[in-house]
Amino acid sequence: MLTHTISKSKSLVTILLVLQAFYHTSKAQNCGCSSELCCSQFGFCGNTSDYCGVGCQQGPCFAPPPANGVSVAEVVTPDFFNGIIGQAESSCAGIGFYSRGAFLEALESYSRFGRVGSTDDSRREIASFFAHVTHETGHFCYIEEINGASKDYCDETATQYPCNPNKGYYGRGPIQLSWNFNYGPAGTAIGFDGLNAPETVATDPVISFKTALWYWTNRVQPVLPQGFGATIRAINGALECDGANTATVQARVGYYTDYCRQLGVDPGNNLTC
């Protein structure tokens, strides 16, 4: 059974926000930066890749590299997708919720997923994404984190994403989106009220996949060139990397190498973290 989630530690978020503020003067969400500065995905002003790169909202944002011609739908075939979800028990909540169709519909909003770099890079990214999704959801069995409602995922220091005291920000969806500081910006980007209706991630399968793709393209895709191990660190590094939980790291690596084999691509180097 899945007994963990991708929850990010409060300490890591605090460090991230401090670093963002350190580089340049910061302002509130929807920055209002001067013309020569970028507004980062977190709502801070600056002119480095942390601000002008992935997730840049406005200003002189860096242009992303061109997408390649890979068709993700042709890689994520019905056989590939069903080979994952087919391993879940028929009693699982995810059966009938997760589907290849919902994934492909969500993918329409994320045209760069699986389409950066070479054809092999694309296949490795797809294998990596589904490896993590398999691990987080138990082969698409779980929609919500086990016992998630009993846990506190409200980071009160993330004041731009104030928690609704009547809502829980525990793991939901293919990548088990967690914490108010993820639900808030994900909702804004996707078009649902992440802070006041986080349960939408567990009731709308397309939005559910969109949250996974949103998190992936903003937080994980930039580290793909560093190897699969870097993606583990981006998703759950505080709880698994540097010897924290070698069993779960190896489980993720196992799924990844299996999916790379199925997709006919070498998994590359630096598989652990």
- Could you give the dihedral angle defined by the CA atoms of residues 144, 262, 110 and 21, in that order, rounded to the nearest 10 degrees? 70
Concerning whether 136 is annotated as a catalytic residue, the answer is yes
Of the listed 36, 105, 125, 136, which one is catalytic?
136
Do 212 and 174 form a contact (C-beta atoms < 8 A)? Answer: yes
Question: How wide is the angle at C-alpha 251 spanned by C-alphas 250 and 252, nearest 5°?
Answer: 90
Active site residues: 136
